[in-house]
């Protein structure tokens, strides 16, 4: 292929990427619609009044393990026999699933999947789907306002169950997606007794990023509030998912932005195969990933994903946060440890593009020594890990800059459990055959040791060059490193 053809090809790809970005902005604008607000004063005055439950518009359907798809039996506040008719289990946990904004006025496909996963994990529980579809089908700003009324409905239902049947609110776990997360927050703030837990699944951002805590999900709304943020891309208040921490533990998979399988490259693939008709699915892809991560935690209980507390996603990308000391790491999803700190814990992790989402995190630290005087920027490398169980080869990573006599730390991850690390290889990639560096000689660094910390096991290992000293030369064969025989190096590894 000629240089001209390559340039034209690259230009076409960049144009498509720009076009997709514009489409994302257009779709998001259409989703939010016009800024049409509603006056809730009259409705709220009715909601606050007395023990009359006839004004509650939200519906509460107890789905069963045998029928996770349809709402066949409704618990009706004020109608005591409806509870018995729906075979409500008074001694078990109750999960209340609250959906988000909808275009079609129908449940989305994730609802029965979440219901089924909850029953698989807790077979004797009650799974109640909160139906507020009529209110959720308006322009976004209207539906956002309606979350206050939906939250009131849910709170009054819970209070009725507690008062009428002495049902323990300690057994109640609210799961809210998008706008539903904020409805869950309002509900939690209005119950007579705090519910046990609220899980926010990518709570909606617009109209809530700067809202008062009483109007959105907040740590005060339940005994424990955990949140998964999966689509926070964009400026604050414009991103589909809320950016600020709103729980006791806020987890940002893959930095909380685009999720694997939902990025520009995937958009280009969808466009090439199906045209622009399914672009809305790509917008929802990262947003809904929060739900599927939680479902994953229900179905794969023996191998939960781990998240790590960190001040920023930039620090996490450098591998600086893979510590489990003093509650610095936690399980993602259902089996999360209920840590209630004074400040919200922001946590990060990497995931696969599909279920099971769990990956294995490693911090790698390398000291580059040598006589090179040039600082090289945006350098591409590959590292290969070999363990007792499996291997993961040619894992790409990029260092923003590399210069002699400096230590660099970075994060890598594998999609398979390779067991205990035994050996690794490191390769410095040449950009292209037309690289100027290949004309003036290949830059070279000396690497004596590589330090690796495994996040999931917390083990720290020092690797030494299989030769006495390894030369890392751009575009050349990858030097091999094995576990150092000197045990004192592993004890004093400079972590």
**β 197-201/94-98 pair status:** unpaired
DSSP alpha helix (H) spans, 122-246:
133-136, 140-165, 179-190
- Note the helical H segments in 89-139: 110-121, 133-136
CA distance 206 to 111: 23
Instruction: Select which of 202, 226, 250, 296 is catalytic.
Output: 202
| Residue 233 counted as an annotated binding residue | no
| Residue 327: partners with Cβ closer than 8 Å, 6 or more residues away | 309, 337, 339, 341, 345
Please answer whether residues 306 and 361 qualify as being in contact, where contact means their C-beta atoms are separated by less than 8 angstroms.
yes
Q: Is 216 annotated as a binding residue?
A: yes
Token readout for 298 is 């229900």
CB 175 within 8 A of CB 210: no
Contact between 481 and 450 under an 8 Å Cβ cutoff? The reply is yes
Phi, psi (degrees; rounded to nearest 5) at 46: -70, -45
280 counts as catalytic = no
Residue tagged active-site, from 287, 296, 297, 392: 287
CA separation, residue 395 to residues 339, 361, 413, 425, 429 (Å): 34, 12, 8, 10, 12
178 a catalytic residue: yes
Cα angle value 228/234/236 (rounded, 5°): 75
Annotated catalytic residue, options 99, 131, 143, 178:
178
Tokens 């400079």 correspond to 494
Q: Is 202 a catalytic residue?
A: yes
Contacts of 182 (CB under 8 A, 6+ apart): 144, 147, 151, 176, 203, 204, 208, 215, 216, 217
Catalytic residues, which ones? 178, 202, 287
Annotated binding-site positions? 216, 221
Annotated binding-site positions for Ca(2+)? 216, 221
């Amino acid at each position: 292929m000629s240089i001209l053809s390559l340039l034209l090809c690259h230009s076409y790809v960049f144009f498509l990427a720009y076009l997709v970005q514009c489409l994302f902005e257009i779709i998001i604008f259409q989703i939010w619609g016009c800024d049409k607000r509603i006056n809730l004063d009259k409705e709220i005055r009715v909601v606050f009044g007395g023990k009359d439950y006839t004004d509650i518009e939200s519906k509460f359907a107890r789905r069963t393990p045998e029928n996770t798809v349809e709402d066949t039996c409704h618990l009706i506040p004020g109608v005591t026999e409806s509870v018995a008719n729906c075979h409500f289990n008074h001694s078990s946990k109750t999960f209340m699933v609250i959906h988000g904004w909808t275009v079609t006025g129908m449940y989305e496909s994730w609802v029965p999947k979440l219901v089924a996963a909850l029953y698989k994990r807790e077979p004797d529980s009650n799974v109640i789907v909160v139906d507020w579809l009529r209110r959720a089908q308006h322009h976004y700003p209207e539906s956002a306002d309606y979350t206050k009324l939906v939250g009131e409905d849910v709170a009054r239902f819970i209070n009725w169950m507690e008062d009428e049947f002495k049902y323990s609110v300690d057994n109640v776990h609210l799961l809210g997606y998008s706008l539903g997360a904020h409805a869950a927050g309002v509900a939690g703030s209005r119950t007579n007794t705090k519910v046990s837990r609220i899980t926010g699944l990518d709570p909606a951002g617009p109209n809530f990023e700067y809202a008062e805590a009483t109007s959105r999900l907040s740590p005060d709304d339940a005994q424990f509030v955990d949140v998964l943020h999966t689509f926070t891309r964009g400026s604050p208040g414009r991103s589909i998912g809320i950016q600020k921490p709103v729980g006791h533990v806020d987890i940002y998979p893959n930095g909380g932005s685009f999720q694997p399988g939902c990025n520009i490259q995937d958009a280009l693939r969808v466009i090439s195969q199906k045209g622009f008709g399914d672009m809305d699915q790509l917008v929802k892809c990262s947003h809904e990933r929060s739900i599927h991560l939680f479902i994953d935690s229900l179905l794969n209980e023996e191998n939960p994903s781990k998240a790590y507390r960190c001040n920023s996603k930039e620090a996490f990308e450098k591998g600086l946060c893979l510590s489990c000391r003093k509650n610095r790491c936690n399980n993602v999803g259902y089996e999360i440890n209920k840590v209630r700190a004074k400040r919200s814990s922001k946590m990060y992790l990497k995931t696969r593009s599909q279920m099971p989402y769990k990956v294995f995190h490693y911090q790698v630290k390398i000291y580059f020594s040598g006589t090179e005087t040039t600082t090289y920027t945006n350098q591409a490398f590959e590292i290969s890990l070999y363990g007792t169980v499996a291997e993961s080869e040619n894992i790409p990573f990029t260092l923003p800059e590399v210069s002699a006599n400096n230590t660099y730390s970075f994060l890598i991850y594998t999609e398979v459990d390779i067991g205990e690390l035994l050996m690794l290889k490191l390769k410095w990639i040449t950009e292209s055959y037309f690289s100027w560096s290949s004309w003036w000689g290949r830059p070279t660094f000396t690497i004596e040791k590589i330090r690796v910390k495994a996040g999931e096991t917390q083990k720290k290992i020092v690797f030494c060059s299989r030769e006495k000293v390894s030369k890392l030369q751009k575009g050349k064969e990858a030097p091999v490193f094995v576990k150092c025989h000197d045990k004192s190096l592993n004890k004093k590894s400079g972590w």
